[in-house]
Copies of this chain bind each other. A is one copy, B any other.
């Protein structure tokens, strides 16, 4: 395929050309609304974290030993020896979205909390299982659960978190909780589909941009969609409102993942906490790579030849910084970096414009917009 044949998500696109060495901005301009209202995103994220955290910890306390300990290790609350630890807890975008979405219905932010916690549980269920399936030994600068506690505990505790997510919602016993659980189940199925695609793509030489976007929509978009609507659903939102919020979250997820894919190659190790050229070292078929390979032209062709040779190389583990830098430069020269930055901006715009379809308090709309800006502007 060529990129201007269109994409799974919408109409035709063209791939901008980037000159080698030119800086392709990964940071889209902040949206108009956020610039004018100066929403305190840090406070918004902190609110979600503060409200969800004790409920999440109480949920984990329900697990029978040793699953409670294994889960606490996964969340970074204790270290491998069981001593208290201060895990970084991530960016907490999902809990912030879930809590905010309750306010679309003018419900109290607290209405969204069981949804925020359920979404976090499903997210972490998928991390536990994906790390094992992918053989990933590190997450958030720490050994993964299967490395520390063994594969059986990674499977078992993942299962338990998934079940606990449903339990958190269904024990509310309301019609709204049933609807929220159904949407969460749909998102979970998409997560699983995305992981199945990710695994199958590993064994293929080429992946189309459409396939990559579909996989990222499943792995990242679906759960952000659920996070962005679940508080509203618990607050009594009708299907149209919930679907609109899901649309916002889905495209926000695609923007998020495009930025993640940029950071996975060109991110500053001091900010991301990952190695330089991290995704290249893992041979990840991320958007910049896939877009560069699909772009055509001499850089694209050279990149294709090099990556095909790399796939057969037994010495790949020992490649130097310069060798990875040369591959990153080729991806950029073929236009993969600029295309991905454009894609992040495009998805960011679709996300924010989706919200126009429904009424909500102005302050809530501004906060959704500010969170979207944050997701795309972040450096880690």
Would you call A33 an interface residue if the criterion is a C-beta within 8 Å of the partner chain's C-beta atoms? no
Contact with B along A125-153 (1 / 0, CB 8 A): 10001001100000000000000000110
Cβ of A189 within 8 Å of any chain B Cβ, yes or no, is: yes
| Residue among A66, A181, A192 with the highest chain B CB neighbour number at 10 A | A192
B159–A129 touching, CB < 8 Å: yes
A163-B185, A164-B189 are known contacts. Are A195 and B133 too (CB-CB below 8 A)?
no
The answer to whether residues A171 and B160 also contact, given A67-B196, A199-B152, A200-B66 and a CB cut-off of 8 A, is no
Question: Which A residues, 182 to 211, have Cβ-Cβ distances below 8 Å to chain B?
Answer: 182, 185-186, 188-189, 192-193, 195-197, 199-200
Cβ B181 vs Cβ A166 within 8 A: yes
Q: Does A156 contact B (CB under 8 A)?
A: yes
Among B158, B178, B197, contact of A177 (Cβ-Cβ < 8 Å):
B178
Give the A interface residue count (CB, 8 A): 38
- A91 → chain B closest CB, angstroms: 25
- Among the listed B133, B163, B186, B199, which residue makes an inter-chain contact with A192, where contact means beta carbons less than 8 Å apart? B163
CB-CB under 8 A from A64, the residues of chain B are 193, 196-197
Most buried by B among A67, A181, A197: A181
A162 contacts chain B at the CB level, 8 A cutoff: yes
Residues of A in contact with B (beta carbons under 8 Å apart):
64, 66-67, 125, 129, 132-133, 151-152, 155-156, 158-160, 162-164, 166-167, 170-171, 173, 175, 177-178, 181-182, 185-186, 188-189, 192-193, 195-197, 199-200
A–B Cβ pairs within 8 angstroms, 8 of them:
A64-B197, A133-B152, A152-B199, A163-B189, A170-B181, A175-B178, A178-B181, A181-B181
